[in-house]
A and B are shown apart, each in its own frame.
Chain A
Amino acid sequence: MSTTPTQTVEVPVKDVPLTGEARLAQMARAKLQRKRKESAIEFVLLLAACVSVFTTAGIVYILVKESVVFFRSVPVWDFLTDTQWTPLFDDAHFGIMVLLSGTITSSAVALCVAVPLGTIIAIYLSEFAGHKTRETLKPVLEMLSGVPTIIYGYFALLFVTPLLQKLFPELPGFNVLSAGLVMGIMIIPYVASLSEDAMRAVPMGLREGSYAMGATRYQTAVKVVVPAALSGIASAYILGISRAVGETMILAVAAGMQPTLTFNPMEPAATITSYIVQVALGDLPHGSVGYQTIFAAGLMLLLLTLAFNMLGYWIRRKYREVY
């Protein structure tokens, strides 16, 4: 039970190795302490992981809370059907269609650039390019998505628009076309890299089978690999749409922030995102209707992107070929 100090050396009591039950008790204590420490650490880590849940909850809470107040003064029906958006005028109209038209037009222009170019680049990188070419070209492509969007805005306004004005002399200084084109180039890397991932996931056996039948690279790529990877490619497009819908600064700088209900890309227009920027730039008193509109617009934006993201996810899940 007790310790037995040796005669020759004075050993302090606590340094003497315990034996028997005391030792067991000590080990049990240490074990308990260690267990406690472990579960405390696990709890802290769990809290950190939950930050993402809190963020989502915070976003939904803030947007819904302010939107509820907004929809108390503006009926939902008016919000969805009115064809004017003049929230800051005396004769206030709140037709989200106006902002939606800008968002749809700019996204459509962007997709007209990003989808064909992104797909061709993906097919080229995955099926045609050699290892070395791919390793050098991919970082360059990634650079395109690394440039801050405000710089693309500057580029669209001061480089692309003057260039387009040489082609179309009647093009106004602010227009959806140049913003959309630049936005399209910005989302090429997203579309290309997601599509390429999908194509690279197609098993080699399918390609080999096709080559064995005498098909060329082009035939194999277009008739075998692309159809097999179609679900992944489709979800890449949809994520591209979601990017385009949420893009802000290019449109705020180059598209003019003018709320007009139009689907003509040659005109200036406001999008949901650029309207939020416009309001935030001004000095709106906290709690006014103008202040609440940006939350209603933000809710609309969140729902739109969420719907696209979920659609993309679903398509990938549902139509994925399992090999």
Chain B
Amino acid sequence: MAAIDAVARAKEIRELIRAHKRWDTIFAMLGLLAMMVGILTLVALFTEMVVDGLPRLNAEFFTNFPSRRAGQAGILSAWVGSILVMLVTASFAVPIGIAGAIYLEEYAKKNWFTDIIEINISNLAGVPSIVYGLLALGLFVYTFGFGQSILSAGLTLALLILPIVIVATREALRSIPQHIREAAYGCGASRWQVVHDHLLPYSTPGILTGVIIGMARAIGETAPIITIGALTFIAFLPPVPFSGDPPAGLFDWLTSPFTVMPIQIFNWTSRPDPAFHQNAAAASLVLVVMTLGMNALAIWLRYRLRKNIKW
């Protein structure tokens, strides 16, 4: 009797374990399913863009200005504008971001002032991008009188990605072992010599990754640039230095009106005519390839350089 009981009991327990293990499988499936939702969205997004946009992607699309006729419209002023704005953004965000990070990581003493800077940086990372647009509208466009120019847009986006650059640089600096610093100080190097000759070269890959990710974010930002009042119909390019009549100055392009890729997409998307939606799809494809390309480059860089460095 007891033996049969034990067998029945063992069977019961095995059944119980199986039931519990079933939940494992069910949840694993659920997890994959949830991932699939995200992946399928990406697939649908790309399919939609490729199906709608690919027929419009030819050489003329890149060399034509926007036009009232959808078939002739192109993204020349948009991609040129995007590149120029990125140039301004990078030339402000990169040096300021790296310098700020070096200060916080290597120089700052632990006091209330440093705390304030730290709190500010983490808060700024959470401020919606459109608020930066309002700041730029009030400060750069009207108070400083830069107008609705490439300079205003570049500065706005520079402020926007500053926290990203700072955080990436700090992480890169922090991952350098302390003995590198100690060895350099031991040889009599000053603080700046340690930073400039040892820490910066070692942290370059990390910084570069952060900068690329920040730029990828900036190139896709629409809201702050719309807020500063960038025009959406621009059928000319900013002046090339020393060309035209009278010759343009070296920095005249900074104050020129402009348009960028996301704004061109927004403009085409909000038109009722479906022909323009194809243009929007084609321009989106170009933009998404740019941003995801930059992101992929950053991920690859991080992966590769992490592999190479052995402390």
Contact = CB atoms under 8 A, between A and B. Distances in A.
B99 A49 contact: yes
Given A124-B27, A142-B295, A248-B129, A51 B96 contact: yes
Task: Please provide the 9 A-B residue pairs with the shortest distance between their CB atoms, ordered closest to farther.
Answer: A124-B31, A246-B128, A148-B220, A48-B99, A62-B138, A45-B103, A248-B223, A49-B100, A49-B103
Contacts of B139: 58, 62
Q: Which of B20, B31, B124 has the most CB of A within 10 A?
A: B31
Interface of B: 20-21, 23-24, 26-28, 30-32, 34-35, 37-39, 41-42, 44-45, 48-49, 52, 95-104, 107-108, 116-117, 120-124, 126-135, 137-139, 142, 159, 162-163, 166, 190-192, 216, 219-223, 226-229, 232, 262, 265-266, 269-270, 277, 280-281, 284, 287-288, 291-292, 295, 299
A148 B264 CA distance: 13
Given A139-B299, A147-B45, A158-B48, A153 B99 contact: no
A157 B39 CA distance: 19
B34 A53 contact: no
B24 A286 contact: no
9 contacts: A42-B103, A121-B38, A123-B31, A125-B31, A142-B299, A147-B220, A155-B44, A157-B269, A252-B223
Interface in A65-89: 65-66
Given A52-B124, A56-B120, A151-B287, A144 B41 contact: yes
A128 B31 contact: yes
Contacts of B20: 216, 218-219
Contacts, number: 260
A218 B27 contact: yes
Interface residues of A, number: 85
Nearest to B228: A280
A155 B269 CA distance: 10
B84 to A, nearest CB: 18
Interface string A278-294: 00110000100000001
Nearest to B272: A173
B73 to A, nearest CB: 16
Contacts of B21: 216
B291 A148 contact: yes
A42 B102 CA distance: 10
Nearest to A66: B138
B292 A143 contact: yes
A140 B45 CA distance: 14
A53 B120 contact: yes
Given A124-B31, A151-B287, A48 B266 contact: no
Contacts of B117: 49-50, 52-53
Contacts of A41: 192
Interface in A31-48: 34, 37-38, 41-42, 44-48
Nearest to B25: A218
A216 B24 contact: yes
A58 to B, nearest CB: 5
A249 B221 CA distance: 9
A159 B220 contact: no
A47 B97 CA distance: 11
A59 B292 contact: no
